[in-house]
């Protein structure tokens, strides 16, 4: 996977993984809204109202940014999945971290290796950016996502605790 280019990788089902461009924005927003709804169903603290994570302006910034990246999975001209992340150095870290914020595959297309390819594309891009590690936040009850990241070599490093007051 090249850095910022349009290299692609063909999967079964004629799915192509490639860097997102401005023309993909509306379809990515639609998928990110589905991801937001999933999260709101899974987590009582997450609002069902679209947030900044679904804001077209914010997603466009990630498509165009120097240290941000968005990959899409395209099937016959339709975007059926995407991944979005960035490189940064969190305050206490001694090196650069790649962060995978979103990885989503539309439901009818799951379990065909597309999520794995979207993450692998991110990993190649992060490596080309000289990161020291790659992280993602995954809900404890999200078995498919945990299994996917673990199968790619990710290890659990922390647990977030929550006390619900009301
Ligand atoms: C997580 C998600 C991206 C996986 O996408 P996918 O295309 O179905 O995943 P893949 O087919 O590439 O599967 C890769 C591996 O993940 C694991 N996996 C995926 N779905 C699974 C499931 N339902 N049950 C158990 N393991 C699963 C398997 O280890 C699988 O490898 P295998 O098929 O060789 O056994 C998809 O389920 C999704 O979009 N979920 C909703 C959004 C989400 O939770 N995103 C993660 C946080 S941002």
Residue 127 lies in a domain: yes
- Specify the pLDDT at position 11: 64
Give 78-81 contacts, CB < 8 A, sequence gap 24+: 78/27, 79/24, 79/27, 79/28, 79/31, 80/15, 80/105, 80/106, 80/109, 80/114, 81/31, 81/105, 81/106, 81/109, 81/114, 81/115, 81/118
Q: What is the pLDDT of residues 22-81, one digit of tens each?
A: 999 999 999 999 999 999 999 999 999 999 999 999 999 999 999 999 999 999 999 999
Domain that holds residue 58: 9-151
Number of independent structural domains in the chain = 1
* CB-defined site of ligand 1, < 6 Å: 35, 38, 102-105, 110-116, 138, 142-145, 147-148, 151
Residue 98 lies in a domain: yes
Measured in angstroms, how far is the CA atom of residue 92 from the centroid of ligand 1? Answer: 31
- Specify the pLDDT at position 3: 35
Which pTM was predicted?
Answer: 0.93
Residue 58 lies in a domain: yes
Q: What is the pLDDT of residues 102-135, one digit of tens each?
A: 999 999 999 999 999 999 999 999 999 999 999 9
Residue 160 lies in a domain: no
Residue 16 lies in a domain: yes
């Amino acid at each position: 996977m090249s850095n910022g280019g349009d290299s692609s990788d063909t999967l079964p089902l004629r799915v192509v993984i490639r860097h997102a461009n401005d023309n993909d924005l509306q379809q990515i927003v639609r998928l990110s809204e589905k991801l937001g709804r999933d999260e709101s169903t899974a987590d009582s603290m997450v609002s069902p109202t679209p947030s900044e994570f679904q804001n077209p302006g914010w997603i466009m910034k990630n498509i165009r940014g120097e240290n941000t990246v968005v990959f899409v999975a395209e099937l016959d001209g339709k975007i059926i999945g995407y991944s979005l992340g960035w490189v940064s150095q969190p305050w206490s870290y001694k090196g650069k971290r790649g962060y995978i914020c979103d990885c989503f595959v539309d439901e009818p297309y799951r379990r065909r290796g597309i999520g794995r390819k979207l993450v692998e594309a991110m990993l190649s891009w992060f490596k080309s950016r000289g990161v020291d590690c790659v992280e993602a936040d995954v809900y404890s009850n999200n078995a498919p996502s945990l299994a996917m990241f673990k199968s790619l070599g990710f290890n659990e490093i922390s647990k977030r605790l929550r006390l619900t007051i009301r």
